[in-house]
Structure 1
Amino acid sequence: MKNRNILTDNLWALIKSLTASEKRQFSVYVGRISANSDSKFIALFKVLSLQKEYNEEAILKSTGISKEQLSNVKAHLYNQVLTSLRLNPSKRNIPLQLREQFDFAMILYRKGLYQQCLKLLDKVKTQAIAFEEKNIGYEILDLEKIIESQYITRSRNNRADLLIAQTNELTYLNNIASQLSNLALDMYNTFLKNGYARTDGETQAVSKHFFKNLPDFDAEKLGFREKLWLYQAYLWYSFITQDFVASYRYAIRWVGLFEKNTHLIAVHPVFYIKGNHYVLESLYYLNRVAQFEQALDQFEHIMSNEQIPEDDNIIVLSFLYIYSNRLNLRFMKADFSGGEELLDTIHKKLDRYKDKIDEHHIMVLYYKIACYHFGAVEYAKCIFYLKKIINSKTTQIREDLMCFAHVLNLAAHYQAGLDFRLEALVRSTYNFLIKMNDLHEVQKALIGFLRNMSNISPLRIKAEFKKLHATLSLLEKDPFERRAFLYLDLLSWLESNIQDRPIAQIMAEKLKKNQQRQLL
């Protein structure tokens, strides 16, 4: 596209995101003043709405806007579209409504209508506290104190003491919430960048950092918002340290907050959805198949709840979480057949939402798809998706995901019989893992095995597989090596080669034995 800049990209993306009803709302909004009927920003809106690709020459030709005017008209149109969306009933969420009422109170204050202002502020403050919008509540208290300090209300004697007490309470809670949200974000960022702790030293460093930054608080005073950040911080800390029992416990508490405060689901639907997703994520790593399947059914039912708004953000999150967990369920049940419809739906939705999904989440899906094809003995397709990850130039991909993509790529090439490429791949994978400082005993054993394959007699291959299996069986018990087995069931892969049976069959038998043990 020609002559593109940030403003153009933002405006283009905003207009293309509008639904038919939102476009009608915009037309009604700008048509409320007759003078707008011939405005240049409306002409620009109509042209952009119809264009399949941005074409500046066509815009200038059909709108009468000069090249010098275009930038200002775009900026004005962008603001007008946002204003229209703000007024759209479907976008009128609680924070926007509270903010609007506070703005009205400020207008009343500046008009000198202090009693009307205080009455409105008192009502909005009650709502703000009820809906956990404590930052707005703090702003309301500030305005109430300004009015009180002017000695113009002749309010009751204890009014000042009440405002001071309320301010102190909100100051404490806002401060705790700020520290906890910082800690939760810090843990999330650490997990996205590095994945799970790789050594005892890393675990200790993460633990020291976590508890050093965990603020002192009175648990009895914490409200919904503060507990939400607390549970998020502990959840990410538990993921990093591979304590999946704890991550499940905190995910359940996270969801439980909303189930005790159902009026807040519509206010914070993203957090409610994410909490349910992390319940599933924890159950996946704990390999609790029956619980996972039940939780997934419940999650899909939750997504049809009328309290969950149908906006673009929710739709994309719903796609990512539901389909990622549907793939996880197939891995847990060792079901690698009949997944063509599921994969086809994932590809179609990825194409539809590609502009709204970050690179990391796309690559996570690609890795899961590659694992599915590996289990289905479709090695060429597995390699195809792994190459998308390995060749990606983005810095958003989690380091451990990239590392295990390289390892799985080696296994897939071996299984596909692409021996002529194996030596070069082993060398490049080894160099990559050294560079990433991620060469662990599991990876050393696998790379060493594949490196020596060309020197092993066909009659000795099964014996070498058995030796590698014995080595990895011991490593699986090591808490800092077992993360390799979270990404790829290496032991089942080896057993399938030793026994000349499909990997899915081996995994299904293990699943059955595991279920029987859980029933005892």
Structure 2
Amino acid sequence: MTNYNNKYKKSDHLFLLIQTLSKSEKRNFRIYANRIKKNKTAKFMELFDIMIKMEFYNERKILKNIHNIKKEQLSNMKAHLYKQILISLKKKLQNTIENHDIKIREYLDFSKILYNKGLYIQSLKLLGKAKIIAKYYESNTILLELIEFEKMIESQHITRSLYTRSGELSLESKELIEKIQYNNTLSNLSLELYGLYLKVGYVRNEKDKIFIETYFRTNLPKFDVDKLNFYEKLFLYQAQVWYHYIRQDFILCYRSSSKWVELFHNYKKSKKIAPVSYLKGYHHLLDTLFYLNHYSKFIHVLKQFEKEVKNGEILINGNTKILIFMYTYTNRINKHYMEGSFSEGVKKIIPSLFVEFRKVYNQLDSHYIMILYYKIACLYFGSGDNENTIRYLSKIIENKKVKLRQDLQCFARLLHLIACYESGRDENMDQKIESTYKFFIKMNDWYFVQKKIIHFFKNLGNIYPHQIKNQFKKLRDKLVKYYDHPYEKRTFLYLDIISWINSKIENKSIELITKEKFVKNNIKK
């Protein structure tokens, strides 16, 4: 696979924007730009044509192909092209249901134009139309802005509605402010919990647990779920999901994520209005089913998700395209983890994954890329391909953003150590062990399971070949005691370390061990 990190290092905002344009959007831009005859030969259109054909940003190529342009002029030309593309995109989106807020803003702009001309009644009529849309879509922040402007017109100018509307507007504004404050409290709580998860991951000890529980109780406002509107329920379920997820309470996490998805089924119009939130709800539902190892339910929800995507029930735009890619492939990989069909997963998923990966790479943030690399590495590890396992784990280890997903970086190093051992890359093994040990200490992630695995590798050099199997048995006996430990179990969520140990004891592949476990568990169920 190409090293995308280097390939797109010099990308700029205009290039990235052009890369996201669909064929119809490019065509619409040309129509919009060419409405003025002189634009057909304008240099910014030359720039557009050149950048469309580029695989990666190359300033030298641009300057070479556009005649009579100096380097210092290019910046202004790019800024002009960027603005013109955004205007053409805005015009295309104005009448679409998923961009109702643009329509509201248009009414507000027209209303202000009429107000400045002294046409107060006409201005109020347009505000009324905007308010109907805002109320329908529960766009309370914009609605408050509309009401405040309406209040200003009513308070400064004598209109026919002054005496009947002044008290109504005052009450409407007050109630709306209270709603917005309540909404913000829930959305802030959800966002802050998500931020904590990105930084640290799951709770690691009693101190973490007390902190997160106290924080959640303190910041969660009182509520009657039957009186909450759509967005209030959405932010409540989001906050609950992150809270239970961080605490590794996957049963309660499943309940909240189920309510999250069900909410969209009850408010069908919201699938088009807030498609990103709908996709995230699906992802958390699938994720918790994976961690609960509930295979039949997981498969049912995954099929339902993929069916909705295929049938166009989920809006496709730049944001949803990325999430659909991530959630589709991570959960398809998870399916193969559960079944133990790692080799099949490598053959079926990896080729198409990288085809789609190339299309969205520029828009993926470091967090998504790291998750994807870890999933790919684990799939290769399960299939017995340690070289590719090391390759993709190295991409995580070399990531300089150590403050992002510290937990993932820690366990990537642990799996890297195991893969190096498995592949026979035991040169400088002591150095690799020491480096992994220091990183766990640095990240304050040094717990029993990690300690025992590191100590096991440290002592391997002192063990005779015929004693190794016995040492693996001892390691397994020590670790299985912590499989359901409140804090130690988090290691097993990242690494199926027990299956790996069993493969060494029974002299079988990890794939076969996992398949046998899968069959056994599903026969029981």
Contact 1:188 1:236 in 2 (8 A): yes
Residues 63, 309 of structure 1: CA spacing in aligned structure 2 closer, same or farther, 3 A cutoff? Answer: farther
Q: 1:153-302, aligned counterparts within 5 Å?
A: 153-155=159-161, 157-302=163-308
Q: Deviations over 1:454-503 (max 9, x none)?
A: 21222222221111111111111211000111111111211121122222
Counterpart residue type for residue 141 of structure 1? I
Contact 2:289 2:298 in 1 (8 A): yes
- Structure 1 residue 45, shift from structure 2 partner: 2.7
Residues 332, 210 of structure 1: CA spacing in aligned structure 2 closer, same or farther, 3 A cutoff? Answer: same
Residues 308, 64 of structure 1: CA spacing in aligned structure 2 closer, same or farther, 3 A cutoff? Answer: farther
Residues 401, 487 of structure 1: CA spacing in aligned structure 2 closer, same or farther, 3 A cutoff? Answer: same
**Percent of aligned positions with the same letter in both sequences?**
42
- Structure 1 residue 51, shift from structure 2 partner: 4.7
Which position in structure 2 is the counterpart of 1:84?
88
- Greater alpha carbon shift after TM alignment, 415-424 vs 355-364: 415-424
Counterpart residue type for residue 48 of structure 2? F
Which position in structure 2 is the counterpart of 1:17?
20
SS at 1:497's partner residue?
Answer: helix
Which position in structure 1 is the counterpart of 2:388?
381
Counterpart residue type for residue 330 of structure 1? H
Which position in structure 1 is the counterpart of 2:503?
496
Counterpart residue type for residue 265 of structure 1? K
Counterpart residue type for residue 15 of structure 2? W
Residues in 1 aligned to 2:204 and 2:179: alpha-carbon distance in whole angstroms: 35
Residues in 2 aligned to 1:388 and 1:51: alpha-carbon distance in whole angstroms: 26
1:512 aligns with 2:515: no
* 1:75 paired residue among 79, 92, 100: 79
Unaligned runs of 5+ in 2: 1-8
Which position in structure 2 is the counterpart of 1:466?
473
Contact 2:275 2:314 in 1 (8 A): yes
1:133 aligns with 2:174: no
- Structure 1 residue 126, shift from structure 2 partner: 1.8
Q: 1:138-157, aligned counterparts within 5 Å?
A: 138-155=144-161, 157=163
Contact 2:154 2:162 in 1 (8 A): no
Which position in structure 1 is the counterpart of 2:6?
none
Contact 1:465 1:494 in 2 (8 A): yes
1:343 aligns with 2:353: no
Residues in 2 aligned to 1:8 and 1:289: alpha-carbon distance in whole angstroms: 42
Residues in 2 aligned to 1:517 and 1:329: alpha-carbon distance in whole angstroms: 19
Contact 2:63 2:70 in 1 (8 A): no
Counterpart residue type for residue 206 of structure 1? I
**TM-score, normalised by the number of residues in structure 1:** 0.93
Residues 61, 283 of structure 1: CA spacing in aligned structure 2 closer, same or farther, 3 A cutoff? Answer: closer
* 1:104 paired residue among 99, 103, 110: 110
Residues in 1 aligned to 2:203 and 2:95: alpha-carbon distance in whole angstroms: 41
SS at 1:309's partner residue?
Answer: coil
* 2:409 paired residue among 402, 406, 412: 402
* 1:457 paired residue among 447, 461, 464: 464
Residues 71, 439 of structure 1: CA spacing in aligned structure 2 closer, same or farther, 3 A cutoff? Answer: same
* 1:437 paired residue among 430, 439, 444: 444
Counterpart residue type for residue 196 of structure 1? Y
- Greater alpha carbon shift after TM alignment, 209-218 vs 456-465: 209-218
Counterpart residue type for residue 23 of structure 1? K
Which position in structure 2 is the counterpart of 1:3?
none
Counterpart residue type for residue 448 of structure 1? H
Counterpart residue type for residue 46 of structure 1? D
Unaligned runs of 5+ in 1: 1-5
* 1:62 paired residue among 58, 62, 66: 66
1:27 aligns with 2:12: no
Contact 1:98 1:128 in 2 (8 A): yes
- Structure 1 residue 71, shift from structure 2 partner: 2.7
Residues in 2 aligned to 1:196 and 1:248: alpha-carbon distance in whole angstroms: 16
Q: How many residues are treated as equivalent by the alignment?
A: 513
Residues in 2 aligned to 1:61 and 1:337: alpha-carbon distance in whole angstroms: 48
Residues in 2 aligned to 1:416 and 1:300: alpha-carbon distance in whole angstroms: 36
Q: Deviations over 1:199-219 (max 9, x none)?
A: 011110111122222234454
Contact 1:176 1:217 in 2 (8 A): no
Residues 90, 309 of structure 1: CA spacing in aligned structure 2 closer, same or farther, 3 A cutoff? Answer: farther
Q: Deviations over 1:252-307 (max 9, x none)?
A: 11112211111121111111111111110111111111000111001111212434
Residues 265, 509 of structure 1: CA spacing in aligned structure 2 closer, same or farther, 3 A cutoff? Answer: same
Q: Deviations over 1:405-441 (max 9, x none)?
A: 1111222222223334432222221121111111110
Which position in structure 1 is the counterpart of 2:4?
none
Residues in 2 aligned to 1:16 and 1:417: alpha-carbon distance in whole angstroms: 42
- Structure 1 residue 357, shift from structure 2 partner: 0.8
Residues 282, 185 of structure 1: CA spacing in aligned structure 2 closer, same or farther, 3 A cutoff? Answer: same
Counterpart residue type for residue 313 of structure 1? N
Residues in 1 aligned to 2:414 and 2:53: alpha-carbon distance in whole angstroms: 47
Contact 1:360 1:396 in 2 (8 A): no
Residues in 2 aligned to 1:151 and 1:25: alpha-carbon distance in whole angstroms: 43
1:416 aligns with 2:423: yes
Residues in 2 aligned to 1:418 and 1:14: alpha-carbon distance in whole angstroms: 43
SS at 1:262's partner residue?
Answer: coil
Contact 1:255 1:275 in 2 (8 A): yes
Residues in 2 aligned to 1:330 and 1:210: alpha-carbon distance in whole angstroms: 35
Which position in structure 2 is the counterpart of 1:332?
338
Contact 1:44 1:63 in 2 (8 A): no
Contact 1:7 1:74 in 2 (8 A): no
- Greater alpha carbon shift after TM alignment, 460-469 vs 278-287: 460-469
Which position in structure 1 is the counterpart of 2:432?
425
- Structure 1 residue 365, shift from structure 2 partner: 1.4
* 1:303 paired residue among 293, 304, 309: 309
**TM-score, normalised by the number of residues in structure 2:** 0.92
Counterpart residue type for residue 211 of structure 2? A
Residues 58, 351 of structure 1: CA spacing in aligned structure 2 closer, same or farther, 3 A cutoff? Answer: closer
Counterpart residue type for residue 417 of structure 1? G
Counterpart residue type for residue 200 of structure 1? E
- Greater alpha carbon shift after TM alignment, 427-436 vs 62-71: 62-71
SS at 1:452's partner residue?
Answer: helix
Counterpart residue type for residue 317 of structure 1? L
Q: Deviations over 1:124-169 (max 9, x none)?
A: 2121111121111111111111121124212174422221222122
1:315 aligns with 2:325: no
1:48 aligns with 2:51: yes
Counterpart residue type for residue 232 of structure 2? E
Contact 1:442 1:472 in 2 (8 A): yes
Residues in 1 aligned to 2:511 and 2:47: alpha-carbon distance in whole angstroms: 57
Between 1 and 2, higher relative CO (CA 8 Å, sep ≥ 6) is seen in 2
Residues in 2 aligned to 1:232 and 1:456: alpha-carbon distance in whole angstroms: 50
